[in-house]
Structure 1
Amino acid sequence: MSLDKNHPYFRRKTPEEILHDISQSKKGKLKLYIGAAPGVGKTYKMLQDSVDLKKEGKDVVIGLVETHGRVETEAQIMELEQVPLKIITYKGKKFHELNVEGIIKRSPDIVIVDELAHTNITGSENPKRYMDVSMILDAGIDVLSAVNIQHLESVNDIVQQITGVKVRERVPDTFVQKAHEIQLIDVTPETLRKRLNDGKIYAAEKIAQSLSHFFTTTNLSALRELALREIADDVDERIEQISGDMKNGPYGVHEKILVCVHYGPTAEKLIRRGWRMAHRLKAELYILNVSSEKTFETSSIKEQKNREWKILAQQFNAKLIFEESQNRKPAKVIIDVAKQYNVTQILLGQSARTRWDEIRKGSIVNMIMRETSNIDIHIVADGR
């Protein structure tokens, strides 16, 4: 539904917005194949679709595909042209990485780039493969790529809680949102375990350990549910964008979320949780750290944490705020910042204070509730 100029929410686009739309139209389109775990068939389906596109007259090439020795996947590759990989020597060993320059020079209609979350070897043009894909899209080439749900940045803590595994190779959700199409490749946990047992996912020596660790029925069921929920949210958002339904006004105009972090082990978890809330509510996200002269952390720990927070803030399009306490209680600083930015929701980690500390110094939550109104407070468990 389009809006006429008499509609209460009609607004003409600014020249900058028009130029942005024009530049976006010249970029390639990204299609993502997402699965709950390795072996669901993402790469196979991606190659199958590519062969069909080639038959329709599209110029399709392979930039990089990881077959992991799977016979069915390797058979699909035979029908498609492959751009030679880039060879990089690091510490006396040769590594094969995506040849971004070669792909752009070849200039196909569509290129297949597998393993989106991959970390490139030192000496590559970009540290991460999704950054390589961005360059290819900017060159006007469409990309088909694949990734597992556990590699999304915002679900990192949830996946670790489910599987006990900390996934180190991650893709920003903001990059995934750029995809023009997302397709879920879904199989039941029982089917996936059978594929693993039949040697269709990993080599024989890895099967027993995988079945009893990552590929348990419980883990796979939880990851599958997570993938289904994420894709459902994506579908809802796209329908909302297409329909242009603004009969109740713009969404999330007044929602602003403030995440309060300190130099502990749960800060990144809080930030990711805050982003998931902000994304669903279409709200602005703020990240606050309150420091004082009594902080006991070493400068190296603080510097490392600050770097991690800045990376996450950039990925999640959040404003990172460092505030000196200046003899104010932490709760007072949070209140002042919340009022300054018209915050509507605050996320706090589970308090590390003892009951005696709260009796002497007062509860942060109680103080915020006393001195503010219309602000929801969320307490997130440490998960330790």
Structure 2
Amino acid sequence: MEHTHPYFRRRTPEEILNEITESTRGKLKLYVGAAPGVGKTYKMLQDAIDLKKEGKDVAIGLIETHGRIETEAQIRDLEQIPLLPISYKGKTFYELNVEGIIERNPDVVIIDELAHTNIPGSNNTKRYLDVSLILEAGIDVLSAVNIQHLESVNDIVQQITGVKVRERIPDTFVQKAHEVQLIDVPPETLRKRLSEGKIYSAEKIEQSLSHFFTINNLSALRELALREVANDVDERIEQISGSLQNGPIGVNEKILVCVHYGPTAEKLIRRGWRMANRMKAELYILNVTSEKLSDAGQLKEKKVNDWRLLAEQFNAKLIFEERGKRKPAAVIIEAAKKCGVTQILLGQSARTRWEEIRKGSIVNMIMRETSNIDIHIVADGR
């Protein structure tokens, strides 16, 4: 009997192959916290010991105890796979031994500090890429990360704390986790742990209490972590319940982010992705340039490479359009119509750079020449 539901369709061979691949892939459980010291590693080790008691073959791939006595006490009963020594600038560093883990082939492996950048000479630049290989080998992974290391919240975290986080992981990687668990501790408790020397060594305590570990910072980061995990839960419920009973969600939404070579372009892209992710929308990134891409200088070339990396992380399509004799607004309108865009994001700083926009004409022209497109002006935050 044929299905008559309007949203029913047969799965493509690619989708069936993806399902088979996913069924053999290891599962990732991620422990997320608002800041160092909330107890991510401790809880991860607790769960690992419980799994071992249940008969699972559990091993430690890499653990960072930071000298915390309670954490160190938990690793005694767990096998540790030797780390991989790597020589760099006359010194020996130790990184995750991916091949050793795959060869040992435990049921579950613990890999701490997911956002870590590997030492030059490693096979992968980032630890999350190492974890991907281990998951592909069919091994389950327990790992931990703080909320500030998520790519899309980078600008928000910098605004909250004044710190630009350099070690970041793609949101799309986190979304592949089988389970995300929030390790939540009130800011007052975390500051007490810090002052008692349970997080950092004595010389770092006073500076940390007055800088990163302020009540305001910790409260804002905690709220951010709670919000992100809540959104993750909502998405999983949608996937399980199959929210197609009222039609596909956001299936027609397409977001276009317009970027220039200014300092806020990456912030705008991250904001666009957060919108697109919430709305289940496609994301496009447009750069309107007055010169050929091949003629761009070294600084602009670096910018373009940064955009390419973000576009790859966020599954976005990056579009470059030469302005020629056209007005920038005309180029944006043409690209929006060609892509079927429903939302356009413009940066406030970009508006001031295009002389045409001095009287708000770029917004007016887009509104005049299009229909059913919402325009968002994002403040540059400076």
TM-score bucket (shorter structure): over 0.9
> How far apart, in 1, do the equivalents of 2:327 and 2:248 lie?
36
Contact 2:107 2:140 in 1 (8 A): yes
TM-score by length of 2: 0.97
Residues paired across the two proteins, number: 380
In the TM superposition, what is the alpha-carbon distance from 1:8 to its structure 2 partner?
1.8
In the TM superposition, what is the alpha-carbon distance from 1:247 to its structure 2 partner?
1.6
> How far apart, in 2, do the equivalents of 1:221 and 1:308 lie?
31
**Aligned position for 2:158:** 160
**Aligned position for 2:50:** 52
In the TM superposition, what is the alpha-carbon distance from 1:245 to its structure 2 partner?
2.3
Task: Give the letter for the 1:238 counterpart.
Answer: R
Long gaps (5+) in structure 2: none
In structure 1, the residue corresponding to 2:77 is in which secondary structure?
coil
Moved more, 5-14 or 263-272: 5-14
In structure 2, the residue corresponding to 1:44 is in which secondary structure?
helix
In the TM superposition, what is the alpha-carbon distance from 1:12 to its structure 2 partner?
1.2
In the TM superposition, what is the alpha-carbon distance from 1:316 to its structure 2 partner?
0.1
In structure 2, the residue corresponding to 1:78 is in which secondary structure?
helix
CA deviation profile, 1:225-251 (whole Å, cap 9, x unmatched): 000000000000100100112121111
**Aligned position for 1:217:** 215
1:180 aligns with 2:191: no
Contact 2:148 2:157 in 1 (8 A): yes
> How far apart, in 1, do the equivalents of 2:92 and 2:354 lie?
59
Moved more, 92-101 or 243-252: 243-252
**Aligned position for 1:97:** 95
- Select the residue among 55, 68, 71 that pairs with 2:69: 71
In the TM superposition, what is the alpha-carbon distance from 1:275 to its structure 2 partner?
0.2
> How far apart, in 1, do the equivalents of 2:323 and 2:359 lie?
15
Distance 1:362 1:186, change over 3 A: closer
> How far apart, in 2, do the equivalents of 1:310 and 1:127 lie?
17
In the TM superposition, what is the alpha-carbon distance from 1:359 to its structure 2 partner?
7.8
Task: Give the letter for the 1:334 counterpart.
Answer: I
Task: Give the letter for the 1:226 counterpart.
Answer: L
Contact 2:32 2:144 in 1 (8 A): yes
Alignment of 1:352-371 (within 5 A): 357=355, 363-371=361-369
**Aligned position for 2:137:** 139
In structure 2, the residue corresponding to 1:367 is in which secondary structure?
helix
> How far apart, in 2, do the equivalents of 1:131 and 1:294 lie?
34
**Aligned position for 2:250:** 252
Long gaps (5+) in structure 1: none
**Aligned position for 2:60:** 62
**Aligned position for 1:42:** 40
> How far apart, in 2, do the equivalents of 1:110 and 1:353 lie?
51
> How far apart, in 2, do the equivalents of 1:27 and 1:248 lie?
32
TM-score by length of 1: 0.96
In the TM superposition, what is the alpha-carbon distance from 1:253 to its structure 2 partner?
1.1
> How far apart, in 2, do the equivalents of 1:362 and 1:252 lie?
29
**Aligned position for 1:322:** 320
**Aligned position for 1:283:** 281
Contact 2:34 2:218 in 1 (8 A): yes
In the TM superposition, what is the alpha-carbon distance from 1:298 to its structure 2 partner?
5.9
**Aligned position for 1:109:** 107
Distance 1:311 1:87, change over 3 A: same
In the TM superposition, what is the alpha-carbon distance from 1:117 to its structure 2 partner?
0.1
> How far apart, in 2, do the equivalents of 1:16 and 1:94 lie?
44
In the TM superposition, what is the alpha-carbon distance from 1:6 to its structure 2 partner?
2.4
Moved over 6 A (4+): none
Task: Give the letter for the 1:144 counterpart.
Answer: L
Distance 1:213 1:117, change over 3 A: same
In the TM superposition, what is the alpha-carbon distance from 1:222 to its structure 2 partner?
0.2
RMSD: 1.7
In structure 2, the residue corresponding to 1:117 is in which secondary structure?
coil
> How far apart, in 2, do the equivalents of 1:241 and 1:26 lie?
20
Alignment of 1:216-365 (within 5 A): 216-293=214-291, 299-351=297-349, 357=355, 363-365=361-363
**Aligned position for 2:206:** 208
> How far apart, in 1, do the equivalents of 2:83 and 2:343 lie?
48
CA deviation profile, 1:320-340 (whole Å, cap 9, x unmatched): 000001210111100000000
In the TM superposition, what is the alpha-carbon distance from 1:293 to its structure 2 partner?
3.5
> How far apart, in 1, do the equivalents of 2:322 and 2:328 lie?
9
Task: Give the letter for the 2:137 counterpart.
Answer: A
